[in-house]
Chains A and B, each alone.
Chain A
Amino acid sequence: MIDNRGAAVEPLPRRERSARFDGPPASAHRESLAGPDTDHAVRTQLAGLRHALPGVRGCVVAGVDGLLISHDLTGDPEPHDLAALAATTFGLGRQAGLALRHGPFRESTVHSHRGYFAVYAVSETVLLAVLGDDGLNVARLHLEARPLANRLADLLHVRTA
């Protein structure tokens, strides 16, 4: 991979699915654990957001450990990479919340020059990440993503954050 300054960039490290996280997210339904019906319902919800909001390129649902649960992305970027980025963003947000005594992580929005990356807590162990263009109506995204996160928590049978 070559970045825009012409320097070589290492591809993002990718954890193998076999290297499972043994920690708490037993309640988080992994791709393999979520039944096909649940996965279909989750993908329908994600596609609903993409259709309702111009500028949304796609979403991923991921565990806080960075493993992918579901997504509705087509092509670039790789959904596993976005799942890892969601967990990284969550980690930073959680540390800020802990250090400032603001309580558990709720959401974090990264606004870069060419786009948005927003991460919402679905539960203590599950995240929703949304990738958007720079022209995205981010106020509307916040209004629509919060109820979406609640619906995903119901579908995945995880406790709402």
Chain B
Amino acid sequence: MEAAPVANLEVVLKEAMSIEGAIGVALVDFTSGMTLATAGGSAELDLTVAAAGNTDVIRAKLRTIEMLKLPDGIEDILITLDTQYHLIRPLHSRAGDGLFLYLALNKGRANLALARHRLRLVEESLEL
């Protein structure tokens, strides 16, 4: 039998937390900025605040692409901080329309290329 969607969400986000260097991960609705699910996070990284703030990032980029009249979509957005990587990955499935995955990584411990690849696999395994 197929697992309930919520269980799948938790399992998939837990899997994203197993990516080397992961600090926190969230599935976010960028039409409202609301968080659907989170895993990890810390006192220094409030994932609901990060989700609401990064909603503005993804909206700004989508608006820019529209203004540039580029017939293209976002695969992912990488933000490099002094000590962290933040990866933003919009969901490409029809059911995931309007949602994105947000992954914060410890820069010293993470392998960026591998993390990006693993996040793509996480996105593909997400059933909504």
Contacts and interface: CB of A to CB of B under 8 A. Distances in A.
A binds B: yes
Interface of A: 135-140, 143
Main SS at interface, chain A: helix
B48 A139 contact: yes
Give the dominant DSSP class at B's interface: helix
Nearest to A138: B32
Nearest to B32: A138
Contacts of B59: 137
Contacts of A136: 32
Nearest to A134: B31
Contacts of B34: 138-139
Contacts of A139: 32-35, 48, 51-52, 55
Nearest to A111: B32
Given A137-B33, A138-B32, A140-B56, 6 more contacts: A137-B32, A137-B52, A137-B59, A139-B52, A140-B33, A140-B53
Identify the interface centre among B33, B34, B49, B51: most chain A CB within 10 Å of its CB: B33
A143 B49 contact: yes
A138 B55 CA distance: 10
A123 to B, nearest CB: 25
B104 to A, nearest CB: 17
Nearest to B46: A143
A143 B50 CA distance: 11
Contacts of B33: 137-140
Q: Which 6 A-B pairs have the closest CB atoms?
A: A139-B33, A139-B52, A137-B33, A140-B52, A139-B34, A138-B32
10 contacts: A137-B32, A137-B55, A138-B32, A138-B33, A139-B33, A139-B48, A139-B52, A139-B55, A143-B48, A143-B52
A77 B32 CA distance: 23
Contacts of B48: 139, 143
Contacts of B53: 140
A137 B49 contact: no
A56 B87 CA distance: 28
Contacts of A135: 31
Interface string B32-69: 11110000000000001101110110010000000000
A82 B59 CA distance: 29
Nearest to B53: A140
Interface in B46-97: 48-49, 51-53, 55-56, 59
A143 B49 CA distance: 7
Contacts of B51: 139
Interface string B12-33: 0000000000000000000111
B123 to A, nearest CB: 21
A112 to B, nearest CB: 14
